A and B are shown apart, each in its own frame.
Chain A
Amino acid sequence: QKEVEQNSGPLSVPEGAIASLNCTYSDRGSQSFFWYRQYSGKSPELIMSIYSNGDKEDGRFTAQLNKASQYVSLLIRDSQPSDSATYLCAVSLLSGSARQLTFGSGTQLTVLP
C-alpha cells in the first residue's frame, strides 16, 4: 500500500480556472505536509507547506489539510499556462530540524491557454 497517494492525471484545466489537486496519506502520525512543483527535467520547488488542519492561502495557492480524513489538497486559482507542471505531495513524520519526506507519485497538470 502506497503511503502517499495522488491521482497521476493528467489533469487539464483552461487558463483562468481553478485547478484542484488531491493527496491522501496512510500514516496518522504525519505532522508536516508539503506541495512541490516540478517542471520536466528540473528539481522540485516548494509551493506550500501546511502543518495544522484548515486552509492556508498564499497568493493564488491554497492548501487544505484534514488530518482526520488524512487528506491534503492544493487549489490553484486563476491557473496560468506557466503552472503546467507535475505537482508532488510530500508528507513527513516529526524528525527534528530536518524532514524526511515521503513523496506521492505526482499529478501532472496542464493549463490550456
Chain B
Amino acid sequence: GAVVSQHPSWVICKSGTSVKIECRSLDFQATTMFWYRQFPKQSLMLMATSNEGSKATYEQGVEKDKFLINHASLTLSTLTVTSAHPEDSSFYICSAGEFGQGNSPLHFGNGTRLTVT
C-alpha cells in the first residue's frame, strides 16, 4: 500500500533556531501534500496545502513566513519552522494522496514531535 515517510520523528531545538521536516511519498507520486499540526488532546488542524512546483496555500492564521513549505518534486515536501518558539511545540503530520487517483484517501506520515526549549 501507499507509504508516506516523515523525518525526523522527533526533534528538540532551542528557541530561535529553525527546524526542517521532510515528507516523502515512497511508492507513489503526490502532486499535493498537506501539513497538519496537532496539539495535545486536540484534533488535527490543517496548516497548509503543498503543491508541487508552486507556492503553498496556507490556512487562515498560519504565518507563511514562519512555516516555510517547499514541494520541489512529486515525492518530497518540506516544512521549515523558522525562529521556533516554545509555543510552536506540537505534533506535525504530513499527508499525501496518490497521483491520478480520484477517490484515493490520504495517507499519513508518522508525524514529527517538535519540542522547542
Identify the A interface with B (CB < 8 A). Answer: 32, 34, 36, 41-46, 49, 51, 88, 96-106
A104 touches B43 (CB 8 A): yes
A98 touches B32 (CB 8 A): yes
Instruction: Give A72 to B35 CA distance when docked, in angstroms.
Output: 25
A100 touches B105 (CB 8 A): no
A45 touches B108 (CB 8 A): yes
B108: chain A residues at CB < 8 Å are 36, 43-45
Contact A97 B31, CB 8 Å, known A42-B110, A51-B103: yes
B7 to chain A, nearest CB (A): 13
Q: Say whether chain A's binding surface is mostly helix, strand, loop, or mixed.
A: loop
A99 touches B44 (CB 8 A): no
A50 to chain B, nearest CB (A): 10
Instruction: Give A96 to B96 CA distance when docked, in angstroms.
Output: 12
Q: What are 15 A-B residue pairs whose CB atoms fall within 8 Å in the complex?
A: A32-B105, A34-B106, A42-B110, A43-B6, A43-B93, A43-B111, A44-B44, A97-B31, A97-B99, A98-B98, A98-B104, A98-B106, A101-B106, A102-B46, A105-B43
A106 touches B43 (CB 8 A): yes
**Count of A-B contacts judged by CB separation below 8 Å:** 67
Contact A105 B93, CB 8 Å, known A43-B109, A46-B105, A97-B32: no
Nearest neighbor of A98 in chain B, beta-carbon distance:
B97
Partner of B110, one of A43, A97, A99: A43
Instruction: Give A88 to B91 CA distance when docked, in angstroms.
Output: 16
A101 touches B46 (CB 8 A): yes
Extra contacts, 9 of them, besides A98-B31, A100-B49 (Cβ < 8 A), are A32-B103, A44-B44, A46-B105, A49-B103, A51-B103, A97-B98, A97-B104, A99-B104, A103-B45
Nearest neighbor of B1 in chain A, beta-carbon distance:
A46
Q: Does B61 contact A (CB under 8 A)?
A: no
B109 to chain A, nearest CB (A): 6
Q: B79-117 interface mask toward A, CB cutoff 8 Å, 1 = contact, 0 = none?
A: 000000000000101011111111111111111010000
A98 touches B103 (CB 8 A): no
A87 to chain B, nearest CB (A): 11
B60: chain A residues at CB < 8 Å are none
